[in-house]
Amino acid sequence: MSANLVAATVRSGLYTRIIGKRIRFFQELTSTMDTARECAESKIDEGTVVIAEFQTSSRGRLGRTWVSKPGNLYLSVVFYPNRVTLPLIGIVAALAVKKSILKITGTRPDIKWPNDIMIHGRKVAGILVESVMMSDQIKYAIVGIGINISLNREEMGELGSIATSLNLSLGYEVSRENLLRTLLQELDSLYFDIKKGISPIQEWRESLNTLSEKVSVAHGGSKIEGIAEDVDNLGNLIIRTDDGNLVTLTSGDVTLEKNDAAR
Ligand code: BTN
In the predicted model, is pLDDT for residue 263 greater than 70?
Answer: no
Among the listed ranges 59-68, 133-142, 251-260, which one has the minimum average pLDDT value?
251-260
143 lines ligand 1 (CB under 6 A): no
- For residue 113, the tally of other CB atoms under 10 A from its CB is 26
Show the beta-strand stretches assigned E in 96-206: 110-112, 116-119, 122-134, 137-147
In the predicted model, is pLDDT for residue 262 greater than 80?
Answer: no
pLDDT single digits (tens) 116-159:
999 999 999 999 999 999 999 999 999 999 999 999 999 988 88
Give Dmax over CA atoms of the chain in angstroms: 57
Average pLDDT over residues 42-66: 95
90 lines ligand 1 (CB under 6 A): no
Atom nearest to 123 CA in ligand 1: 3
Average pLDDT over residues 189-200: 98
Q: Starting at the edge strand that comes first in sequence, how are the strands of the sheet with 253-256 ordered? A: 246-249, 237-241, 222-231, 214-219, 253-256
For ligand 1, atom 16, which residue shows the shortest CA distance? Answer: 144
Cα of 254 from ligand 1 centre, angstroms: 17
pLDDT single digits (tens) 219-233:
888 999 999 999 999
pLDDT single digits (tens) 77-101:
999 999 999 999 999 999 999 999 9
Atom nearest to 60 CA in ligand 1: 2
Q: d(Cα 218, Cα 112) in Å, to the nearest integer?
A: 14
For ligand 1, atom 14, which residue shows the shortest CA distance? Answer: 58
Among the listed ranges 28-32, 63-67, 173-177, which one has the minimum average pLDDT value?
63-67
